[in-house]
Structure 1
């Protein structure tokens, strides 16, 4: 079955806010040959643990402050954000990558990975909500870069997003073990 994309409606996304934190550079870079790890592989676990403990501020545009009413009653939120430093030409050319830039793991299709280099690079993270201060949400463990545009925020609830027993391929289990997840 083919899909005629000319019939699809135009999509326009506008940021609702920005991420503020100390992450200035991505861990992965979309290069000519796929994803390139910008830190030594031995340092990945240390980097990941640092991120898990890092605080980020989600600075929501003041015009959307009223939309945050009640969010502080949730322990976790889902943050959808845009990886703004990825070159659009690079992300459109990548079809398959070694997950996390690791050549010891066979190439996978982009949709089978959590790669930030994708046709529509919408990234999603579930993070603990620590505090709300008017239009600023303080969260822990968000891997977004400083100044990443926030597309949306949703409350996290297992009854909506939980899966009873999700399965993942062995290469992803290996990555999770190595990162201490």
Structure 2
């Protein structure tokens, strides 16, 4: 997609907060018991921005994989988790952090809201991760379970992701 001059559009996103996590190094598994804090920026958000958020059990967090250099982005295919026993998948068929725009989306449990500080569990983001958006998870927007299709090998490959 280009403008009339042939220039691809670009977008600037300013973080609304930052993740404070005990994890600062990328790891594949065991995110289920990780407790983190999302510090929302009072210069970007009024205190009322979180009104009613505590009524939800889970959140969807949109963030930037800030530690991944743009040059590391995958634009084709690769083996998930570098496991050659798994089939090659295109970058858009997996949740690899080396995505073209290095954007992550994760669901996590909301433990409590303390002003513009969100206490969460099972957020798979590292310390210092820029948060671009926070949304309440709503089952209404999830697909019906009987319509979801996934490859057979996926559950074995990801079985330890949220395990303690």
Give the TM-score, by structure 2 length. Answer: 0.87
Return the structure number with greater helix share.
1
Match of 1:6 in 2: 2
Single out whichever of 145-154 and 114-123 deviates more from structure 2.
114-123
The CA distance in 2 between the partners of 1:152 and 1:163, in whole Å, is 25
User: Where does structure 2 lack aligned partners over 5 or more consecutive residues?
Assistant: none
List gaps (5 residues or longer) in structure 1: 28-43
Equivalent residues in 2 for 1:2-151 (5 A)?
A: 5-7=1-3, 9-27=9-27, 48-49=29-30, 51-63=31-43, 64=45, 65-91=47-73, 93-151=74-132
Aligned-partner Cα distance in 1 for 2:154–2:126: 23
What is the distance in 2 between the residues matched to 1:101 and 1:25? 17
Q: 1:85 to 1:153 in 2, by over 3 A?
A: same
What secondary structure sits across from 1:13 in the alignment?
coil
Change (3 A) 1:52 1:85: same
Change (3 A) 1:13 1:174: same
Distance 1:126 1:180, change over 3 A: closer
Per-residue CA deviation, residues 82-106 of structure 1 (Å, 9 max, x unaligned), is: 1100010111x54211111212112
1:167 aligns with 2:163: no
Q: How many residues align?
A: 156
State the 1:107 CA deviation. 1.3
- C-alpha distance in 1 between matches for 2:134 and 2:96: 20
Task: Determine if contact 2:33/2:162 at 8 Å carries over to the other structure.
Answer: no
In the superposition, the TM-score normalised over structure 1's length comes to 0.79
